[in-house]
Amino acid sequence: MPAARESLLEAAGAALAARPWPDVRMVDVAAAAGVSRQTLYNEFGGKGGLGRALVRREGERYLDGVERALGTPGRTGERLAAVAEWTLRAARAYPLVRALLTGFWEPDLPAPGRAPGPGDMTRAVRDRAATVLMPAEDAQRCELAVRLALSYVVAPGEEPGAVELLRMLSAPSRKAAAR
């Protein structure tokens, strides 16, 4: 039942946005999705399974956003800046994405289960970038762009604008300067 599964995940995401995960009730999620509680249990096995599926879905949505940013027209530096901006926006707007990228799981969130850690997520960004950007060094720069954006998530400060990000990400590497 793919439609029921997606409806349940949407309802669970909306419930999590409204209240802490420990206060989310399965009966409310099922009702909001327009399915029976038994359907919810058949799909996810319980609240823990629903939470883990929600975490996985948010991780995939973040990575899909990375791919969209990498696919924007422009030079490599502009695409890397788009990835950094998306990472910052997503980490601020979606607590599960922030937890996946930083490794800090607040008690109000579902338990991550075997969710990827921050290193896994940044490597996933690098791997996706490697399929789009050339040379391979640009994929490493993409990973650095994500790590730069995350520094503003964990230690907020005056954020650089898109132009400043572009300048930082487009600067020649020390290796290139040494050649």
| CATH code, 18 | 1.10.10
Are 105 and 154 part of one and the same domain?
yes
For residue 177, tell me if it sits in a domain: no
Are 108 and 25 part of one and the same domain?
no
CA pair distance 179, 69, nearest whole angstrom: 30
Q: Supply the pLDDT for residue 86.
A: 92
DSSP 110-134: PP-TT---HHHHHHHHHHHHHTTSS
Stronger pLDDT, 50 or 112, i.e. the higher one: 50
For residue 178, tell me if it sits in a domain: no
For residue 168, tell me if it sits in a domain: yes
Percent above pLDDT 90 for the chain: 50
Are 34 and 65 part of one and the same domain?
no
Are 37 and 11 part of one and the same domain?
yes
* Domain containing residue 159: 52-172
Are 161 and 104 part of one and the same domain?
yes
Q: What is the mean pLDDT of residues 79-89?
A: 89
pLDDT band of 179, cuts 50, 70, 90: very low
Are 93 and 164 part of one and the same domain?
yes
From residue 72, alpha-carbon distances to 132, 133, 143 in Å are 11, 12, 17
Query: Are 95 and 59 contacting, i.e. CB atoms less than 8 angstroms apart?
Result: no
pLDDT by residue (tens digit) across 103-135? 999 999 998 888 899 999 998 988 888 888 877
Are 56 and 27 part of one and the same domain?
no
Are 106 and 39 part of one and the same domain?
no
The domain tally of the chain equals: 2
Are 167 and 104 part of one and the same domain?
yes
Are 165 and 122 part of one and the same domain?
yes
Are 69 and 147 part of one and the same domain?
yes
Question: What pTM did the predictor assign?
Answer: 0.83
pLDDT by residue (tens digit) across 4-30? 899 999 999 999 999 999 999 999 999
| CATH code, 157 | 1.10.357
Per-residue pLDDT at 177 exceeds 50: no
CA pair distance 99, 109, nearest whole angstrom: 9
